[in-house]
């Protein structure tokens, strides 16, 4: 009798252990399989987007190739016609080459950037807070304060589809105007030299929605008259699709002044205690950044150097 109870108890324990393992396996399955299904949906959406974008690109290339074939047929017809002139043949041949080259072009990101600081001149503006010798601080044309941030809007699309890029980065080129010693023609008086000053700036990209974002550019270099200049921002973005990476590039202007040439300064104290300076027109009476920084550099004791 006791042996029967021992056997029954062993069977019960075995069944209990088996039941526990089954429950653990069921719980793991309930946790794991929804994640697998979710990943599957994400993969399907990504592949569908890739298929649609590839289809758009192939459709565009097909149209271009058809145009090239049509132009090629026109050339053959003209060659068969002894009355056809060589100029007409050359014109059509140039069109065929252009169409063929376009059909082989790789896809690119379409990037557009608009300046917020000065949308009329479409340039970003910074002020270092350096006044020229003898200037009366706060007087008309010689405002105090500094503004070391320039802001821009940016849109990014791939084949017309707004996308959030995988990354955005920037190169900053400083333009220095000089008087060339080796002239390309007798009356050449001014030339520009570009230097890479990317280490003096920081770019912050703030996506707002797919294809739309803000660019904040900060100046972190020294407060020195040498950096009063006109700059070119080269904004580059890339977007990964599967194993492929698509790139795009756009240019924007940045005007770094020594001081604001407006007649009024607006000052706001920010929550962190720092002050933010703003002007209605920091370039004053100047129409372009090029002339404004050239004049300010001269007033700061930096004449146009020989080149």
Asked which of 86, 105, 124 is the last residue of a domain, the reply is 105
- How are the residues of the chain apportioned to helix, strand and coil, as percentages rounded to the nearest 5? 35, 35, 30
- Among 152, 168, 293, 149, CA closest to 231: 293
Apex 248 CA angle, 60 and 177, nearest 5: 130
- Report pTM: 0.66
Q: Rounded distance, CA 199 to CA 221, Å?
A: 8
- pLDDT grade, residue 127 (50/70/90)? very high
Note the Cα 134 to chain centre separation in Å.
41
Asked which of 70, 105, 140 is the last residue of a domain, the reply is 105
Asked which of 87, 105, 123 is the last residue of a domain, the reply is 105
Number of domains in the chain: 2
Asked whether residue 140 falls in the same domain as residue 41, the answer is no
Asked whether residue 197 falls in the same domain as residue 286, the answer is yes
What mean pLDDT do residues 259-284 have? 92
* pLDDT tens per residue across span 60-96: 556 555 655 666 566 556 555 555 444 454 555 555 5
Q: Which residue range(s) make up the domain with 271?
A: 109-299
Q: Rounded distance, CA 43 to CA 260, Å?
A: 53
What mean pLDDT do residues 39-47 have? 61
Does the residue 22 lie in any domain?
yes
Burial of 188 (0-12, 13-18, 19+ CB in 10 A): exposed
Does the residue 307 lie in any domain?
no
Q: Rounded distance, CA 156 to CA 214, Å?
A: 11
Asked whether residue 115 falls in the same domain as residue 244, the answer is yes
Q: How far is CA 76 from CA 68, 88, 97, in A?
A: 12, 12, 15
Asked whether residue 99 falls in the same domain as residue 119, the answer is no
* 33 pLDDT above the threshold of 50: yes
Does the residue 306 lie in any domain?
no
Give the pair of three-digit tokens for residue 298.
């001269």
The pLDDT assigned to 107 comes to 82
């Amino acid at each position: 009798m006791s042996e029967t109870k021992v056997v029954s108890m062993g069977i019960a324990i075995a069944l209990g252990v088996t039941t526990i393992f089954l429950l653990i396996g069921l719980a793991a399955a309930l946790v794991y399989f929804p994640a697998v299904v979710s990943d599957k949906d994400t993969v399907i959406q990504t592949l569908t987007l890739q298929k649609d974008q590839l289809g758009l690109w192939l459709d565009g290339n097909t149209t271009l190739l058809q145009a090239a074939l049509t132009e090629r047929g026109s050339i053959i017809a003209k060659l068969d016609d002894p009355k056809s002139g060589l100029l007409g043949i050359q014109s059509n041949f140039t069109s065929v080459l252009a169409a063929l080259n376009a059909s082989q072009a790789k896809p690119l990101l379409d990037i557009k950037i608009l300046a917020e600081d000065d949308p009329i001149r479409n340039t970003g503006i910074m002020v270092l807070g350096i006044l020229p010798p003898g200037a009366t601080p706060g007087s008309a044309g010689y405002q105090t304060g500094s503004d070391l941030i320039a802001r821009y809007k940016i849109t990014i699309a791939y084949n017309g589809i707004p996308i959030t890029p995988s990354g955005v980065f920037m190169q900053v080129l400083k333009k220095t105007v000089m008087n060339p010693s080796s002239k390309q023609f007798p009356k050449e008086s001014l030339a520009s030299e570009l230097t890479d000053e990317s280490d003096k700036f920081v770019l912050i990209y703030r996506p707002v929605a797919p294809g739309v974002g803000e660019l904040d550019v900060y100046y972190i270099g020294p407060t020195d008259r040498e950096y009063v200049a006109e700059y070119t921002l080269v904004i580059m973005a890339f977007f990964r699709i599967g194993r492929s990476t698509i790139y795009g590039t756009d240019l924007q202007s940045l005007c770094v002044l020594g001081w604001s040439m407006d007649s009024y300064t607006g000052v706001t104290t920010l929550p962190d205690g720092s002050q933010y300076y703003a002007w209605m027109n920091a370039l004053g009476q100047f129409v372009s950044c090029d002339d404004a920084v050239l004049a300010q550099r001269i007033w700061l004791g930096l004449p146009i150097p020989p080149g």
